[in-house]
Amino acid sequence: MSAWTCHEDWKAEFESVLPRITRFLVSVFRFVRCASTRADMIAEGVGLCWKWFVRARQQGKDPAEFVTTMARYAARAVRSGRTVCGQQKSKDVLSLTAKLKFGVSVVRFAPGAAPEQTARQAPATDDAHVYEEHVSDDTQTPVPEQAAFRVDWPRFTNTLTERDRSIAAFLALGHQATEAATAFQVTVPRISQIRKDWQRRWIEFHAGPLSEGTP
């Protein structure tokens, strides 16, 4: 019997016990709330069982005699972060291990998205969603700088008055100073003064108050 025929036979044998393995894994992971995470865990468990099934067959053992035990060990392995491709790092916030061990969850963050921020930061225009895309969608800036900005920007804008936050949002949409002056009933020089004040306050926000004589 050739090696390929032998492997084909193993595949058929594994498929015959697969329903038992799947039922066990579904039962073990039924309390995982996220459907996608639950499906991933079941798939990893099945993958580990197949890997161990082949190894057992290569060693001359009959895996059909300990299918439930194999599924149980696979479930434990998946819970501890083990996958078919290796062990996941618990310090990787995107890993399943971090989610299971530390309760880490990863969500998309955009300035103004937090409930406590939204009411105070929503721009006074009908283009709030466009504003959010302008300040959050960025494929050019390095990721660490993006992350720092998305944390700092909501905190900084909370130091502004409600009117200034609305002006900042209006300008962030790409409107010119003349358009902002008309929309908010101020002069163009006043808009320039406000922007310079924001620049000074943004620098102070990160580096502390500027010393006298600093340009």
Q: Which helix (H) or strand (E) holds 82?
A: strand 82-83
Q: What is the mean pLDDT of the chain?
A: 74
Residue 183: inside a domain: yes
For residue 125, the SS3 value is coil
Residue 195 lies in domain: 115-207
Do 72 and 149 lie in one domain? The reply is no
pLDDT value at position 21?
A: 92
Contact 152, 144 (CB under 8 A): no
Q: What is the pLDDT of residue 128?
A: 47
Count of domains observed in the chain = 2
Residue 214 covered by a domain: no
pLDDT tens-digit profile of 80-99?
A: 777 777 666 656 656 666 66
Assess whether 151 and 173 both reside in one domain: yes
Beta bridge partners of 87: 82
- Are residues 183 and 146 both part of a single domain? yes
Q: Which residue from 178, 171, 174 is spatially nearest to 198, judged by alpha carbons?
A: 171
Beta bridge partners of 166: none
Could you say which residues of the chain have pLDDT below 50? 1-5, 109-128, 130, 210, 213-215
